[in-house]
Structure 1
Amino acid sequence: MAEFDTTRRTVMAGLAAAAAVDALPGHAAPRRPMPKGFLWGAAISAHQSEGNDVHSDSWLLENLPETVYKNPSGDACDSYHLYERDFAIARAVGLNCYRFGIEWARIEPEPGRFSQAELDHYVRVLASCRAHGLLPIVTFNHFTVPLWFARRGGWEVPDSADLFARFCERATRALGDQIGMASPFNEANIHRLAALFRTAATPEYIGKRRTMLAAAARATNAPAFSSILFSEPESIDVHLLDAQKKGYQAIKAGPGDFPVGVTLTTQAIQPVGENSKAPAMEQMLYGDWWDAVNSSDFVGVQVYTRMRFDAKGMLPPPTGAAVTAAGYEYYPQALGEIIRFAARKTSKPIFVTESGIATDDDTRRVAWLDASIAEVEKCQQDGIDVKSYIYWSLLDNFEWTQGYGQHFGMVSVDPHTFARTVKPSARHFARLIQERR
Structure 2
Amino acid sequence: MELNFPPHFLWGSATAAYQVEGNNSNSDFWAEEHAEGSPYKDKSGDAINHYGLYREDIALMASLGLKAYRFSIEWSRIEPEPGVFSYSAIEHYRGVLETCHQSGITPIVAMHHFSSPKWLMRLGGWASPEIPNRFARYCEFVFQELGHLIPYALTMNEVNLPVMLRDIFSRIGFIPPVGIEREAWSAPKWRESAAELCGTTIDKYFTFHMISDEESIKLLKETHQKARKAIKQMSPNTKVGLSMALSDIQSIHGGEELAKAKWHSYFEQYLPAIEEDDFFGLQNYTREVYGPGGQLKPAEGAELTQMGYEYYPEALGNVIRKVAKYLPISIIITEHGVATENDERRVEFIRRGLEGVQACLEEGIDVRGYFHWSTFDNFEWQSGYALTFGLIGVDRSTQERQVKDSARYLGRIAQTSSLITN
Given the two structures, how large is their TM-score scaled by the length of structure 2?
0.93
1:31 corresponds to 2:3: yes
1:387 corresponds to 2:358: no
Distance 2:100 2:57 in 1: 9
Tell me if the contact between 1:264 and 1:301 (Cα under 8 Å) persists in the aligned partners.
yes
- Paired AA for residue 58 in structure 1: F
Corresponding residue number in structure 2 for 1:370: 351
Corresponding residue number in structure 2 for 1:400: 381
Distance 2:341 2:38 in 1: 26
Question: Would the alpha carbon gap of residues 206 and 402 (structure 1) be closer, same or farther in structure 2, given more than 3 Å must change?
Answer: closer
Question: What is the CA distance between 1:297 and its match in structure 2?
Answer: 0.7
Question: What is the CA distance between 1:208 and its match in structure 2?
Answer: 4.9
Task: Kindly provide the CA deviation profile for residues 192-237 of structure 1, in whole angstroms up to 9, marking residues without a partner as x.
Answer: 1211211214897067533322222344332411112245433521
Tell me if the contact between 1:68 and 1:208 (Cα under 8 Å) persists in the aligned partners.
no
Alignment of 1:99-114 (within 5 A): 99-114=70-85
Given the alignment, which residue of 221, 224, 237 partners 2:200? 221
Question: What is the CA distance between 1:77 and its match in structure 2?
Answer: 1.0
- Paired AA for residue 285 in structure 1: Y
Distance 2:39 2:130 in 1: 29
Question: What is the CA distance between 1:282 and its match in structure 2?
Answer: 1.6
- Relative to total residues, which structure has the larger helix share, 1 or 2? 1
Distance 2:262 2:182 in 1: 23
1:212 corresponds to 2:190: yes
Distance 2:19 2:211 in 1: 20
Given the alignment, which residue of 127, 141, 145 partners 1:156? 127
Alignment of 1:16-415 (within 5 A): 29-32=1-4, 34-201=5-172, 205=183, 208-219=186-197, 220-222=199-201, 223-255=203-235, 257-276=237-256, 277-286=258-267, 288-415=269-396
The size of the alignment, in residue pairs, is: 408
Distance 1:230 1:414 in 2: 33
- Paired AA for residue 327 in structure 2: T
- Paired AA for residue 274 in structure 1: G
Task: Kindly provide the CA deviation profile for residues 46-102 of structure 1, in whole angstroms up to 9, marking residues without a partner as x.
Answer: 111101000000000011122122212111110001111221121112111110011
Tell me if the contact between 1:119 and 1:171 (Cα under 8 Å) persists in the aligned partners.
yes
Tell me if the contact between 1:177 and 1:256 (Cα under 8 Å) persists in the aligned partners.
no
Distance 1:114 1:270 in 2: 46
Question: What is the CA distance between 1:426 and its match in structure 2?
Answer: 1.1
Distance 2:285 2:182 in 1: 26
Structure 1: gaps (5+ residues): 1-28
Tell me if the contact between 1:213 and 1:226 (Cα under 8 Å) persists in the aligned partners.
no
Tell me if the contact between 2:9 and 2:417 (Cα under 8 Å) persists in the aligned partners.
no
Question: Would the alpha carbon gap of residues 211 and 296 (structure 1) be closer, same or farther in structure 2, given more than 3 Å must change?
Answer: same
Tell me if the contact between 2:35 and 2:191 (Cα under 8 Å) persists in the aligned partners.
no
Given the two structures, how large is their TM-score scaled by the length of structure 1?
0.90
Distance 1:185 1:434 in 2: 29
Structure 2: gaps (5+ residues): 174-180
Distance 1:294 1:209 in 2: 37
- Paired AA for residue 45 in structure 2: G
Task: Kindly provide the CA deviation profile for residues 270-318 of structure 1, in whole angstroms up to 9, marking residues without a partner as x.
Answer: 1222144211222221252122222211101000000112222222111
Counterpart secondary structure, 1:387: strand
Question: Would the alpha carbon gap of residues 206 and 71 (structure 1) be closer, same or farther in structure 2, given more than 3 Å must change?
Answer: closer
Question: What is the CA distance between 1:340 and its match in structure 2?
Answer: 0.2
